[in-house]
Amino acid sequence: MQDDSARFKITQMTDTGTSVTLTLAEDVELEAVSQQQMMLEAVDRAITDKEVKEQVKPILEAILRSQPQTVIRSYSRTMIQMTTPKRRYEKLGSPRVGEVLTIDIKKV
């Protein structure tokens, strides 16, 4: 049985009066990675010959430096949507959009 506690940030909230629906995104620090960096790492893994790698890498770096820098996120987040009765939502402290909840996830 795996036990995992994760932090989720509230990204959207819908209050119907009797129930509250929360949309949650995993609250993780994402490291920005440039597209050029990912391409260089891919070439590094793909080319096994050290001599060929030493010839190709400087050319590829020069080409990539002339391109605009594109920063991408390197981790896909877990998303959860939950609907709870209004009373239970209030017992949680009535969290708002942008606030963080800790959710324990485990197989029973």
DSSP structure string for the chain? --EEEEEEEEEEEEE-SSEEEEEEEE--PPPEEEHHHHHHHHHHHH---HHHHHHHHHHHHHHHHTSPP-EEE--PPPEEEEEEEHHHHHHTT---TT-EEEEEEE--
Give 20-64 pLDDT, tens digit per residue. 999 999 887 666 677 788 788 888 888 888 888 888 888 888 888
Q: Residue 75: is its pLDDT beyond 70?
A: no
Within this chain, do residues 39 and 72 fall inside the same structural domain, yes or no? yes
Does the residue 7 lie in any domain?
yes
Partners of 106 in beta bridges: 3
In the chain, how many domains are there?
2
Residue 38 and residue 18 in one domain: no
**Residues 91-95: what's their mean pLDDT?**
93
Angle at 51 between CA 46 and CA 57, to 5 degrees: 60
Q: 56: domain range?
A: 33-76
Residue type, 71: V
Inside any domain, residue 107: no
Q: What is the structure's pLDDT at 47?
A: 87
Q: Percent of the chain scored above 70 by pLDDT?
A: 84
pLDDT value at position 57? 85
| Cα–Cα distance for residue pair 93/17, rounded to 1 Å | 16
Token digits for 88? 């239970």
22 in the same domain as 37:
no
